[in-house]
Structure 1
Amino acid sequence: MSPTPEQQARKHIDELLIDSGWQIQDFNEFNLSASLGLAIREFPTETGHADYVLFVDKTAVGAIEAKPIGTTLGGVAEQTAKYIKKFPKEIPHIGLPLYFAYESTGIETYFRDERDPEPRSRRVFSFHKPQTLYEWINEKDTLRTRLQNIPELDVAGLWPCQIEAIEGLEKSFKRAKPRALIQMATGSGKTLSLQTLNGKEVTL
């Protein structure tokens, strides 16, 4: 019998998780000491069974909602939210809601960080490594939070078109826009504009 679309999705998700350094376990045999990063299948929460709950350093930090291949993930975030907002009190967890939420078909994956100023899902290539989530957990603020506090631009030595370009990009960053474009004429100082911008952002 051919696998169902959901079974195919779970297979792809398992492969992505393993490639990213996660150890996969079933709920009835999970061992929090087995690895830094654990993905526990069919984890019971107060609002139902989460397809996967992610543990980093023995603490629940996020969840994955698995969907059949071909599902449009844009409207699935609410389902993941149910699991990360109502989590068993007796299980060690980072806080409520759990920080990290994923929706995935195994072909397409969306991610959001609930600590962002305006959390919203965005497409990612794969699941983040356990070490990456561990580092993010221990940072004071998320990147998108820090982008709300970009240092004021020192305009000395900059042309008006350069100031406009840099400030426009910074507004885009603050609005969490995934893409931005600088369009400047030849000889108008694109290189200096980007060097100035880069010098500011590395301090975030």
Structure 2
Amino acid sequence: MRIGRKVVNRFAHQDIAALEQLLEEVDQEQMAQTYRRLNAIVIKDAIHSLNKSYPLAEEDSEFLTTYLYAIESWTWFELYLFCNTMPFLSNQDLIFLSTSLLEKSKEFKELVHNRLYMKQGLLNILSELMERKLFSYIPIFEAELERMLRPYDVFEKVSWQFLKKMSVFLQTKGSNQKEIERFIQSLQVLENPQLTSLFELRFQQYKELID
């Protein structure tokens, strides 16, 4: 998780150069080759999320997909891995593994740590489905997320509000653009400039999807 925390921190600061440096550092880590490569794929995904022109290698996609299917009983690591590498997966694999995750959710939710990852995972699934315009699959994951959200889940609730607005934006060719701009502006009260900046980046990326 030490590497995972570094990825989160550098992603939140949108520091692509630092992520690329971390990619080089991971290559020198004393760990099993499989986990070294999987951690590298997570870092590449973070870079791609910040810069959509960053290429995702087919061999990485195949390695990741093979690994996720091979592990029958997922631990927090597989959940973390899946949540942070979705762009590497084909539509078919994304939908199958996401649906399988819903079936696992009861056992995962018994641990607080896993519940946090489940909520993040569902948000990432919803975001990825929207980006790929696979809107018909959204309701089942939306229902599970809303069942899991609690009053204190401020970040998750704000993220979900944003994604719901983005879903309308993508399906109506940007009809609610002003509403989204006001929503992002309203987030200043949270005094979390990194979150606001990430939403602005995502909004710009979604705008490019309808251009």
TM (norm. structure 2) is 0.31
For the pair shown, which has the larger CA radius of gyration, 1 or 2?
A: 1
Richer in strand (by share): 1
